[in-house]
């Protein structure tokens, strides 16, 4: 989920802790929290020492970090979804040292043993393979920075407000990149508090190229436009597949999607990217594709990649798909019209390259029957 706390657009949308419960119950297993220093009565009731969650340098409303963590504890594995698989919290850190320490206290006190902490030996030696989600049930994993940060502009977690692709209209955010305190996006950001630094299990690191792979618990985020360029070029596409066999990658929308529209996740899935951050408040076609993808595992948020994308098998041979349309049931009419509709079914194929075909097939039209139309006298159309 991208900017999970938002219920509307990216510039003046309302932030809500309950949005985390909504996406978790929908099967999402990776949520995002943008953390900032709080101030007195921002939001109301803040004594001035509580970190806040908001889309920085915009007009989006603000909520308390501790309220978000409380909702995560109560909703991550709760009824009715009863999803036992681990939840990843992607932290976009903008807090100063003292507020980071307060964040550590909140996570320690509220989440407690639910947190998955990296073993000190692994911390020093690195990890060659991550545990299976089956072994991490009912655990919460924090993804974030662990060490000193230099410039915010070098942090891949700047997300949609800093993806520098002028062709995508991202330059419109130039004025928004200054905070109300006057700090620019390329100014130095605070060092990581030593207590907080021990919490991230997944380390967010700057991507420096496919020639410099990291350990399994180190991962990078990629903007939508950058992914498209990497996938379009055959050489880098294969490198990307290899990278995703060992390390996680998280894909986020380009900055011009201020309306909270969604990127097409299939492009990223096709090269093995594990986390494609979508705006769950927008029920568009990419969101429908996401729900369809994870129906494979009862909407539990984890599905196994193909053997080729896992590095355990060869490329898939071309497949021939045969779809038979039998019938429809109780189709609604458009615009509250009293007319009886004449339904038909149109088939689209969603994929990459030649596998992406819209309007691939259209059935015959059944006249005057929106209640229970059948095709080819019940034998179906293939």
Positive or negative: CA dihedral 169, 172, 178, 180: negative
Distance of alpha carbon 273 from alpha carbon 275, whole angstroms = 6
Write down the catalytic residue from 2, 94, 215, 217: 2
Distance of alpha carbon 118 from alpha carbon 121, whole angstroms = 8
Quickly tell me which residue has 């991490």 as its tokens.
Answer: 136
Positive or negative: CA dihedral 11, 13, 15, 20: negative
Determine contact, residues 375/363, Cβ cutoff 8 Å: yes
Active site residue 215: no
Active site residue 55: yes
Encoded tokens for 183: 């700090």
Termini Cα distance of the chain: 36
Distance of alpha carbon 313 from alpha carbon 295, whole angstroms = 24
What residues form DSSP beta bridges with 322?
none
Write down the catalytic residue from 55, 211, 215, 350: 55
Backbone angles phi, psi at 8, to 5 degrees: -140, -135
Encoded tokens for 379: 């034998």
Distance of alpha carbon 14 from alpha carbon 244, whole angstroms = 34
- Which residues are marked as active site? 2, 55
């Amino acid at each position: 989920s991208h900017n999970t706390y938002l219920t509307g657009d990216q510039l003046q949308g309302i932030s809500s802790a309950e949005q985390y419960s909504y996406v978790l119950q929908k099967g999402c297993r990776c949520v995002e929290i943008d953390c900032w220093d709080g101030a007195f009565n921002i939001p109301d009731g803040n004594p001035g020492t509580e970190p806040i969650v908001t889309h920085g340098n915009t007009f989006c409303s603000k909520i308390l970090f501790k309220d978000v963590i409380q909702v995560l504890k109560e909703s991550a594995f709760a009824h009715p979804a009863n999803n036992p698989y681990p939840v990843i919290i992607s932290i976009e850190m903008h807090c100063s040292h003292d507020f980071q320490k307060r964040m550590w206290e909140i996570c320690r006190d509220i989440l407690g043993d639910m947190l998955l902490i990296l073993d000190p030996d692994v911390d020093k030696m690195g990890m060659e393979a991550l545990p299976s989600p089956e072994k991490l049930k009912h655990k919460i994993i924090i993804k974030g920075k662990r060490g000193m940060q230099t410039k915010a502009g070098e942090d891949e977690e700047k997300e949609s407000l800093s993806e520098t692709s002028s062709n995508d209209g991202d330059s419109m955010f130039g004025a928004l990149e200054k905070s109300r305190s006057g700090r620019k996006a390329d100014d130095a950001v605070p060092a990581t508090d030593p207590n907080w630094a021990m919490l991230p299990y997944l380390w967010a690191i700057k991507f420096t190229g496919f020639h410099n792979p990291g350990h399994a618990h180190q991962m990078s985020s990629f903007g939508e436009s950058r992914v498209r360029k990497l996938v379009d070029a055959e050489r880098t596409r294969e490198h990307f597949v290899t990278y995703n066999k060992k390390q996680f990658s998280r894909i986020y929308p380009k900055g011009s999607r201020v309306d909270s529209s969604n990127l097409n996740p299939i492009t990223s899935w096709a090269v093995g990217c594990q986390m494609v951050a979508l705006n769950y408040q927008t029920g568009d076609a990419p969101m429908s594709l996401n729900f369809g993808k994870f129906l494979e595992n009862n909407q539990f948020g984890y599905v196994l990649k193909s053997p080729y994308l896992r590095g355990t098998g060869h490329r898939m041979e071309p497949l021939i798909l045969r779809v038979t349309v039998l019938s429809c049931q109780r189709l609604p009419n458009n615009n509250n019209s009293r007319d009886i509709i004449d339904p038909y079914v149109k088939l689209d194929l969603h994929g990459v390259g030649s596998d992406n075909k819209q309007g691939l097939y259209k059935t015959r039209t059944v006249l005057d029957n929106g209640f229970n139309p059948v095709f080819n006298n019940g034998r179906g159309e293939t």
